[in-house]
Structure 1
Amino acid sequence: MRRIALGFGWLLGALVAGLVGVGIAATISPRPASVVLRRNMDRHGSARFVATAPFVPAHVVSEIDIPYRPGDRDARLDVHRSTGSDGTLPTIVWVHGGAWLSGSKDLIANYLRVVAGEGCTVVGVDYSIAPRATYPTPVLQVLDALAFLTEHADELGVDADRLVLAGDSAGAQIAAQVIGVVIDPGYAASIGAHPRVTRDQIAGAVLFCGVFDMSLARGLRGRPRWFVDSVMRSFTGSADYLDDPRFAGISVVNHLTAAFPPTLVSCGNADPLIGHSQSLLTTLEALGVPHETLLFEPDHEPPLGHEYQFHVYTDAGQLALATMQEFVEGLD
């Protein structure tokens, strides 16, 4: 019996030591937390990819894994277009979400095909994820993707004079910041960006469930704060992401101007990021930027969580598609 007790004590000690080791590792490096978070988020993304497959129209064709940045293995994009398109609609360039440390264009490819089925060209852009690549790498990559699309517009079937920058979650932040640095040379200089596209090329923005105002993180406590701290430490490489001026550009609400293009903003009523969309809308309103919204009453049933728009098999998902189509069709 004593031998069994000693064996159990050794096992318990090993488990405790292992947990302590993980905790210490998470303190020293953002990698342990990022691996766990990425695995969980990508699992949900894979499930959405499968669930969206039945809604993909047969008339949509895709060119996949087109390299847009020489020597950058992560810099690839897909082009989805409807064979029945008459070329009258802008091209949507979509930046995927995933808290900057997960996700890919592949996981949302079926959704982008559904969007393309309405008659427009849709481009899905991949970028390097954290912690292997940190801020502002994704913004610089997407800027290069826009330049590539401009240079190869005819062969890709892209209207480079009418681009709609779109994104979800972290991708919405990247898309909004890309537009911001194209418009504002000072914003561009703050991250060492040299845009090769112009404001005149950007017809609009479509932003779902995005992250736009990092000051909101200061009010978080408990697990939500742990999540945000883990994500931002992975993305920035710093625990001082809220006060270090190197990362001020992440809060796009502080850098927008009246030249920002017409924008559609949407978020679910049960999305923990709803405050970010509200902050963005307040900023757009103050600047006089034309904007439309798809928001829901606080007591909307069923509750609509983060990335609700990808659930195309729901009424809310269909409403998001229809609203986006109407918005894009109305752009000059």
Structure 2
Amino acid sequence: MPMHPQVRAHLERLAAANFTGLHTVSPEQARAGDRRLTAATVAAPEPIAEVIDRIADTAAGELPLRIYRPTAAVGPAPVIVFFHGGGFVLGDLDSHDALARSVANAAGMVVISVDYPLAPEHKYPSQVDAGLAATTWVAEHAVELGVDASRLAVAGDSAGGNLAAVVALKARDVGAPHIAFQVLIYPDLDFRRENRTITTLAGRYGNITREAQFWFRDHYLDDPALRFDPRVSPVLEPDLSGLPPAYIITAEYDALREEGEQYGQQLRDAGVDVTVRRYDGMIHEFLRHPFDDAAIAIAELAAALRGALGAPISLR
């Protein structure tokens, strides 16, 4: 389909800004630029009933969390453990604050965003260890948090979608915590960087260049051979049976589209209940921008969460 006019206008503004190529700067410089870009382009955060920052003492060390509660609850609430995107190098609790608020409000559920350690200061598997530890901590502290550990989902966008998928795999393998649902938002699932959309859409439609793809990969991985590890590239996992049901969002003009849709088919072939929803005319990270289709996608995602996890928070 033709690119949505709102997306086209957004990309024209980005092109006019003439940003320096990511692969030519340090991670610190890239983070500073990403914070400026977020402030200039991301949708304004919605009001929400309660936001609490806290430090969780987990098996992977102390991890900052941000807890979003859309309204006072009667009884334990469904909970979504959320991992932000940013290629494992960029992003934090603030960069995805608006998206976390929108999902919590739309679903009527508690969202707990995880500030996992970033590369290259922390290489793989630090992020996976932190993701599993944070999810386990939420499940173990469910009563204190006022959430229902039996209705726990993992979710994430881009690199965070990778982390959500890998946490679901690790939890299945070790038998805990129980994960009832996984939400993968334009997930980054194949670090080989060889499929059709990752190569042909690189550097186009707001997607990062091939050089930037490898910049992110090399910061994340100590050894390039790790790109074949299924806990780095979940599309290479030979056994996807026994995983929680999944909801996967992809975008037509996103370089990560093919691997997200491939993983959905692989889950389906393994007997996992999965929905793959492609948004035509959209680009990578579109849920974070003030596009009409972003609002539609969040509403549909919220409906999927309610269908999977049951009733949302009840009003007092």
TM above 0.5, yes or no, is yes
TM superposition shift of 1:267: 1.7
Contact 2:77 2:146 in 1 (8 A): no
Contact preservation (8 Å) 1:213, 1:252:
yes
Cα distance change of structure 1 residues 68 and 307 upon mapping to structure 2, 3 Å threshold = farther
Does residue 105 (structure 1) correspond to residue 93 (structure 2)? The answer is yes
**8 Å CA contact 1:233, 1:241 repeated in 2:** no
Q: CA deviation at 1:66?
A: 2.5
Q: TM-score, normalised by structure 1?
A: 0.76
**How much does 1:150 deviate?**
2.2
**Counterpart pick for 1:203 among 161, 176, 180:** 180
Q: Which structure has the bigger radius of gyration?
A: 1
Q: Which residue of 2 aligns with 1:227?
A: 212
CA distance in 2, matches of 1:276, 1:218: 8
Question: What is the deviation of 1:144?
Answer: 1.2
**CA deviation profile, 1:189-244 (whole Å, cap 9, x unmatched):** xxxxxx7x33xx2110111111112234377488633112111110012344446x
Q: Which amino acid in the other structure matches residue 100 of structure 2?
A: L
Question: What secondary structure sits across from 2:66 in the alignment?
Answer: strand
Distance in structure 2 (CA, Å) of the matches to 1:249 and 1:155: 31
The corresponding residue for 2:40 is 47
Counterpart pick for 1:320 among 269, 281, 297: 297
**Counterpart residue number, 1:21:** none
Task: Select 1:290's aligned residue among 248, 253, 273.
Answer: 273
Q: Which one-letter code corresponds to 1:213 in the other structure? A: D
Matched, 1:142 2:120: no
- In 2 relative to 1, CA 278–70 (structure 1 residues): closer, same or farther, beyond 3 Å? closer
- The 1:281–1:241 alpha-carbon spacing in structure 2 relative to 1, beyond 3 Å, is same
Higher relative contact order (CA 8 A, sep 6+): 2
Does 2:23 correspond to 1:34? no
Measured against aligned partners, the alpha-carbon deviations of 1:247-282 in whole angstroms (never above 9, x if no partner) come to 442111222522111111002211111112122112
Question: Which is helix-richer, 1 or 2?
Answer: 1
Describe the SS at the equivalent of 1:330: helix
Q: Could you tell me which residue of structure 2 aligns to residue 236 of structure 1?
A: 221
1:110-153, Cα deviation, whole Å (9 max, x unpaired): 32122222321110001110000000111111111122212321
State percent identity of aligned pairs: 27
Mapped partners of 1:94, 1:71: distance in 2: 17
**Structure 1: which 5+ runs fail to align?**
1-25, 186-194
Deviation of 1:87 (Å): 4.7
Backbone CA RMSD of aligned residues: 2.6
Match of 1:79 among 67, 86, 90: 67
Paired with 1:170 and 1:87, the residues of 2 have a C-alpha distance of 33
What corresponds to 1:260 in structure 2?
A: 243
Distance 1:170 1:134 in 2: 14
List alignment gaps of at least 5 residues for structure 2.
1-21, 204-208, 310-316
Partner AA of 1:207 in structure 2: L
Report if aligned partners of 2:98, 2:288 keep a CA contact under 8 Å in 1: no
Larger fraction in strand: 2
The residue type equivalent to 1:40 in the other structure is G
Partner of 2:10: none
Pairs aligned (count): 278
